[in-house]
Amino acid sequence: FRRVLFRSPSMLKHPEPRIYNNVIDAIGNTPIVRLNSVTKGLRAEIFVKLEFANPGGSIKDRIAPFIVDQAEKSGRLKPGGTIVEATSGNTGMGLAMVAAVRGYKCVCVMSSKQSVDKQNMLKAMGVEVVVCPAEVSPEDPRSYYSIARKIAAERPNAVLGNQYDNPANCEAHYKTTGPEIWEQMAHRLDFYVAGVGTGGTVSGTSKFLKEVNPKLKTIGIDPVGSILTDYHRTGKKVEAHPYLIEGVGEDIIPDNVKFPLIDDFVQVSDQEAITALHRLAKEEGIFAGSSCGMAVAGALKYAQKLNGGRMLVILP
């Protein structure tokens, strides 16, 4: 028996490591970990999905191939073309990766609120970065929304990614993020929590999770100063106010924010978000940014009223 076992090539052969054809194929399948320290005193179990483990550093990597695929299939984006996007930086990084792999140019239009580090990272990826003033309305021709549309319209063979209204954003999360969470959580999940900005992450993932578990509650986390919470509760637009948290909240209502798929909203201040991100680093060993701190702060707030259950929070 031993001779047969140890001489068998099939027994001796080691499995081949998984090798991706390019960096785009490495997107997704990010880990989920349990929070242990910051949740002390709460009855609910809280888990976080580490989306910064994507190759471009954020959950926005997921939507980039879907946006580009859609533009290619429709014929709007042709070889050698340009992808233009209004972004806080993360979607720009995802699109920059796809552009590099597929041979496109990339232009990212950003608000001056975004960090210089993000601008420099995009430039290092070969992206043309255009910075616009932050303290203007979305309709202002100087806003980063308006400038992105203008560039896409004026440059030959250029397309606007339009993560705010493009259904490819929600589709990416419906097809990837939602199924991953459901499998990783062993089909046991009661609450899904995500920051809300363009709406793709919260809405696309929620749609899938509610299909497989109609009792699941989706909680959107919003910065104080954003208009989304008030709109969800009253159906009316209020005036937006400045806040420091990057990449979440809105001063517009994107088409990808599907309010019927969001059961409740929790608002989080800049200070609460910063306190939470420091606690994540010092108590859980998770080094993350302000939007992650905001998501966790909101989740902890909401969990205070729960008697139990399993909650998954996206760390974007």
* Residue 118 in tokens: 């993000």
- In the chain, what's the furthest Cα-to-Cα distance? 79
Mean pLDDT along residues 210-220: 98
Task: Decide: 61 and 97 in contact? Cβ < 8 Å.
Answer: yes
Tell me which of 13, 49, 60, 123 is the catalytic residue.
Answer: 60
Residues pairing with 45 in the sheet: 310
Pairing of strands 105-111, 82-86: parallel
Q: In the predicted model, is pLDDT for residue 13 greater than 60?
A: no
pLDDT at 1: 38
Block residue for tokens 């929790």: 266
Q: In the predicted model, is pLDDT for residue 37 greater than 60?
A: yes
Is 83 exposed, middle or buried, given 0-12, 13-18 or 19+ CB atoms closer than 10 A? buried
Q: What is the mean pLDDT of the chain?
A: 94
Task: Decide: 224 and 135 in contact? Cβ < 8 Å.
Answer: no
The phi, psi pair for 194, rounded to 5°, reads -155, 145
Q: In the predicted model, is pLDDT for residue 310 greater than 60?
A: yes
Task: Decide: 189 and 217 in contact? Cβ < 8 Å.
Answer: no
Task: Decide: 123 and 129 in contact? Cβ < 8 Å.
Answer: yes
SS (H, E, C) 33-98: EECCCCCCCCCCEEEEEEHHHCCCCCHHHHHHHHHHHHHHHHCCCCCCCEEEEECCCHHHHHHHHH
pLDDT at 189: 98
Residue 316 vs residues 54, 81, 90, 263: alpha-carbon distances, Å: 10, 29, 9, 20
Distance CA 27, CA 98 (A): 11
Determine the distance from the C-alpha atom of residue 180 to the mean position of all C-alpha atoms in its chain, rounded to a whole number. Answer: 14
Residue 60 annotated in active site: yes
The pTM of this model reads 0.92
pLDDT at 18: 82
Distance CA 70, CA 197 (A): 21
Q: In the predicted model, is pLDDT for residue 15 greater than 60?
A: no
Q: In the predicted model, is pLDDT for residue 56 greater than 50?
A: yes
Residue 212 vs residues 29, 178, 183, 188, 196: alpha-carbon distances, Å: 19, 10, 11, 10, 22
* Residue 50 in tokens: 């580490």
177-190, pLDDT tens digit by residue?
999 999 999 999 99
